[in-house]
Structure 1
């Protein structure tokens, strides 16, 4: 018997997020939920958890079923609570008195250091806060675990750890994961639900293989639609010819035949359904103004240091050339952020450049950091574009609409936008900057899979030169053509990112 049955489930918020969804969640299922930003993934998980009432359909849960739900947001009321205590609070009073050890077992399984367990959640990184919420959900021994974007704020080592942790869970537990991390979905799921307003598709396959199957279904459906519509047009042309003959000859038989042809054409048109077209969350486009310089940046054994002067690593002799898409790899604390900051400051203030770092005078920087700090929360999208770029109000609004920010969002405070909306605004700012070199720190944060693939395509199509930091393995594999690794206080070059990925998975610290 299924743990949870969804029958003809639907949620409508102005327009349908999903409808007529039928899904049986069985023991051992590891289901990945895939959809664009704002298309119902979080709503579906909340519906299953029982915190949101669906618009239509039924959810049948097994008697006594325990559901653990890890939402994207950390409850503000927990920020002052110590890590271990926040986990214990998920237990009943009786369980806390007799079985508080369960919290320690879960924290041990997630490799939470003892020193962190006594710290308030508000003093911890976003990644540790996410793991605290996961521990709170699992300590209650749920039958079903619902995870909403669980890799947000996690570095590669923690993502790999989470993959191992999920894959080691008891097989009688079911897990549903809403995520835009394609590599993570491939590593942790055995079924994939593509959530759609109409006719969601479910495959007993992990993401990559399910995506191929979905594309084949969509392509086949589109061919069938075009064939049926072409046939309907031919029937209507035949009917028109017969009708003319019938009128001229007065033949009742031809009149009946004409009617039959029109009815057949109508049935074909009524039954034809075009292939699903994902409603875009906003276009992502980049620009490349180009440069005649072959070498954009050169490093002559530059030192990268902490703010207090401690050496993190030396670059050795390195060059960033036109067309390079360099991925900067390294474990947490190795100095990736400091290197990016140093490079950004050197480009922004050429007069402060040293012999160790030289930048071609024609370089124009496009920079985006993972926190999108260059977007002012108190500003509006319309103000952001019109004040930074000489495009005019009408053009600014058209550009924003093309990026997925309609008129209702254009005058809303940036701080009130969703993560996906902010990310697309940041991509528009990058495009209008018209750079010839991109410095990107976690650029896929908050982008859905459609947005990630669009960004990958733009970087390749524009032949953009860039240096980027990313924990998204699928993005790194698709974009990078050079790979720099910070290791042993040195910057070394790898042929691919795979050795680093393997080392993180095999020896996390």
Structure 2
């Protein structure tokens, strides 16, 4: 049964986001919606939910269809409510009063600890707030979920819970989800829609396999376009020869034939469609200034503690050598970010048990992008490292358009800020990268560009990430926090499996 269908849907908001978009959602579909930052994913979900009027085209919904949009942002009005009360508030008041048991079932299904259920949402982490939005949707028992970046702020155990919850939905319930988490898309979807300004592509495959099919389709389109242009060129050359012969011989038949060949060439050129070329959200380029030091960081059984000095774990005796890309693995709360902070402090000042090489040049990125002052403009920030003209060029290359360069940083999107943070890293010309959740806010294009740069530059780095594909691509060594010790492991896969199956 078709739950929802679009026909020739188009949306322009300052720029054309998508055109001639036609697809349908059947019962039980799990559709991944894929596009770069700012290319219309959230806007399309809002069109499907009836919250945004498309520029043209139609959205048809099955009679009686119930749908729920799980947005990225938590409404300010529900932040004072407890987790339980916020979930119940999604129901009609009468239903909420007499069927409060519905909230308990939903919170059980989403593995929300009892201790959090009476905690105000405003006091909870971003991950638990995202779970609360999902609970508010689930309690209404929709036929179709529209999920906008549902894995944002979730650690691996919560992503595992989300995947299990999606698997357990009734078989006829459909889900459309946007995400930049490639591993999640592979696990949670069976169809993939690559949203484009023109010629969006839909495949009945999960993300990774659909990505291969997309590349093959684009390559075939490119070959077809080149062949059509070559055929048109050959027809024009034939027409030119016949024209000369016709003029010299005075043959009206050859002159008519010449016109026919030219007409065919023009029709071929008019019908030829160039292959899709994705416009970049902004380049990510890194640098590696190099060093002769063998060990850039030395850990002499360093104690890692909470901000209020409670012990978390000891590092043991370890080194980060030139070219190492070390990933710290561990459940939330075990001290991964605290270790990043301890290494940062040791680089900036003397430390008794963490030593940095004298030639170390730091490139640091904070998971909350705290290195980007909200009130400063991109132009003022980058002009500290380059002259005015170079600053404008660098910012434009990073996806910050000229009219945005004088805006306060607080007005930029998360994706723009993330690319700006990567530009700052490049300009610091480091030989050691300290990265805390560097793929936060980056779209898939940005994640892959960052991966490529770290590998191509031969960068030395210590990093924390929840992004499984990024860790697999970048990591060359893996340190895991386990039983208050930091141990080296051969692979991140056992940790991934344990976290995804863990009930947090």
Which TM-score applies when normalising by structure 1?
Answer: 0.97
Which residue is equivalent to 1:426? Answer: 421
Is the contact made by 2:160 and 2:502 (CA closer than 8 Å) also made in structure 1?
no
Q: Which residue in 2 is equivalent to 1:195?
A: 195
Pairs within 5 Å for 1:321-470: 321-349=321-349, 352-354=350-352, 356-387=353-384, 389=385, 391-470=386-465
Residues 370-406 of structure 1 show CA distances to partners (whole Å, capped at 9, x for unaligned) of: 100000000011011002x1x2111100000011111
CA RMSD after TM alignment: 1.1
Hey, what's the Cα distance between the residues in 2 that align with 1:176 and 1:427?
A: 31
CA distance in structure 2 between the partners assigned to 1:335 and 1:187 by the alignment: 28
3-state secondary structure, aligned to 2:360: coil
Cα shift readout 1:151-208 (whole Å, capped 9, x = no counterpart):
1111111111111111111111111101111000111111111111111111111101
For residues 456 and 392 of structure 1, what CA distance do their matches in structure 2 show?
A: 29
**SS in structure 2 of the partner of residue 184 of structure 1:** helix
Structure 1, 287-296 or 370-379: larger mean CA deviation: 287-296
Distance 1:256 1:495 in 2: 75
Indicate if the aligned counterparts of 2:111 and 2:503 stay in contact, CA closer than 8 A: no
1:186 maps to which residue? 186
Question: Which stretch shows the higher mean deviation, 300-309 or 93-102?
Answer: 300-309
Contact 2:477–2:490 (Cα < 8 Å) also in 1: yes
Q: Following the alignment from structure 1 to structure 2, what is the Cα–Cα distance between the partners of residues 215 and 203?
A: 12
Partner of 2:487: 492
The count of aligned residue pairs is: 504
Q: Does the 8 Å contact 2:19/2:198 carry over to 1? A: yes
Matches of 2:307 and 2:178, distance apart in 1: 38
After TM superposition, list the pairs within 5 Å mapping 1:238-253 onto structure 2: 238-253=238-253
In structure 2, what is the Cα distance between the partners aligned to 1:231 and 1:431?
46
Q: CA deviation at 1:303?
A: 1.2
d(CA) in 2 for partners of 1:239 and 1:361? 73
Identify the range of structure 1 (306-315 vs 329-338) with the bigger mean alpha-carbon deviation.
306-315
1:73-94 deviation per Cα after TM superposition (whole angstroms, max 9, x unaligned): 1111111111111111100122
- Tell me the alpha carbon deviations over residues 5-25 of structure 1, each in whole angstroms, 9 at most, x when there is no partner: 111111112332111111111
Range with greater deviation from structure 2 (11-20 or 142-151): 11-20
1:57 aligns with 2:48: no
Q: Deviations over 1:432-461 (max 9, x none)?
A: 111011111111111111111111111111
- Alignment check: 8 A CA contact 2:158 2:500 kept: no
1:258 deviation in Å? 1.9
Gaps of 5+ in 2: none
Q: In the aligned structure 2, how far is the partner of 1:310 from the partner of 1:14?
A: 51
Q: C-alpha offsets along residues 28-79 of structure 1, whole Å, 9 cap, x if unaligned?
A: 0011000111111001100111111111111111122111110111111111
1:504 is matched with: 499
- Counterpart in the other structure of 1:300: 300
Q: Provide the C-alpha distance between the structure 2 equivalents of 1:230 and 1:286, rounded to a whole number of angstroms.
A: 40
Contact preservation (8 Å) 2:378, 2:408:
yes
CA distance in 1, matches of 2:125, 2:491: 29
Alpha-carbon deviation of 1:344?
A: 0.6
**Match for residue 24 of structure 2?**
24
SS state of the match for residue 129, structure 1? Answer: helix
Q: Structure 2 CA distance, aligned partners of 1:247 and 1:367?
A: 73
Partner of 2:177: 177
Is 2:472 the partner of 1:474? Answer: no
| 2: CA distance, partners of 1:495 / 1:232 | 57
Structure-1 separation of matches of 2:42 and 2:296: 43
Q: 2:125 is matched with which residue?
A: 125
Report 1:72-91 matches (<5 A). Answer: 72-91=72-91
**1:222: which partner in 2?**
222
Structure 1 unaligned spans of 5+? none
Q: TM-score, normalised by structure 2?
A: 0.98
- 1: CA distance between counterparts of 2:192 and 2:110? 26
Secondary structure at the counterpart of residue 16 of structure 2: strand
